Amino acid sequence: MASGTVVVVGGTRGLGREVAQFYADRGRDVVVTGRDQAVAEECAAEIGGSTRGIGLDLAEPHAIADRLSGTGDVEYLILAAIDRDANSVREYDIDAAMRLVTLKLVGYTEVVHALLPRLADDAAILVFGGLARDRPYPGSTTVTTVNGGVTGLVRTLAIELAPRRVNALHPAIVGDSPQWRDMAPERFEALVQRTPTGRLVTMAQVVDAARFLLENGAMNGIDLAVDGGWLCT
């Protein structure tokens, strides 16, 4: 196995943390980021191995390069952070929308820009979007638009950064993720009914799909839905 660092932006919780844990458990050098330095360090200690934590706010992109300046050579870069914004065009919260758009589109891009000198030709980048891109719901206006932007980001980065590989992973609602595991039973059941496999996607399945996109040298410029067939309905 190669030896470069695995950097997980948004690795202090949820799906990003699961990916970080997977690679740390296999002896990889891992960096996890969250907004707060102390929380990121605490999380890194919990993950174990040589994991390090860095505090950076993607919604404050000018400070990102400085925060990442101590990072070594990077083999896998996973961009998983999110600060959810319930927003609609009728009751538009401009500040919340600007925060999420900045975080996911400008912040993610600035992380890539800052780490570019440390991304070798065989490095791979994975950007997390989500199926609100294709299946909007009331209140998803900013989430839906930024997840659409993730598709554009992956396509332009795959060209600009070639031969490095860049892919996106778009999960449906991940039933055992911290964000959703306490949802109301009626909602859970309605989601299950709409999913052809009859069960919600799990965090372990998302990690497996993330590994595929990061490690398979043929995967590039792909938007992979991990959804149990939800998009077929």
Ligand X SMILES: NC(=O)c1ccc[n+]([C@@H]2O[C@H](COP(=O)([O-])OP(=O)(O)OC[C@H]3O[C@@H](n4cnc5c(N)ncnc54)[C@H](OP(=O)(O)O)[C@@H]3O)[C@@H](O)[C@H]2O)c1
Residues binding ligand X (CB under 6 A): 10-16, 34-36, 39, 56-59, 80-83, 103, 128, 130, 171, 173-174, 177-180
User: Of 32 and 158, which has the nearer Cβ to ligand X?
Assistant: 32
CA distance 20 to 28: 9
Structure tokens at 53: 């934590």
Query: Would you say 56 and 71 are in contact if contact means Cβ atoms under 8 Å apart?
Result: no
- Of 47 and 74, which has the nearer Cβ to ligand X? 47
Q: How far is the CB of 101 from ligand X (least distance, A)?
A: 12
Residue nearest to ligand X (CB): 14
Evaluate whether 128 touches 105 at the Cβ level (below 8 Å): no
CB of 179 to ligand X, least distance (A): 4
Nearer to ligand X, 76 or 162 (CB): 76
Is the CB of 13 or the CB of 52 nearer to ligand X?
A: 13
30 or 58, CB closer to ligand X? 58
Cβ closer to ligand X: 5 or 147? 147
Phi, psi at 79, each rounded to 5°: -110, 100
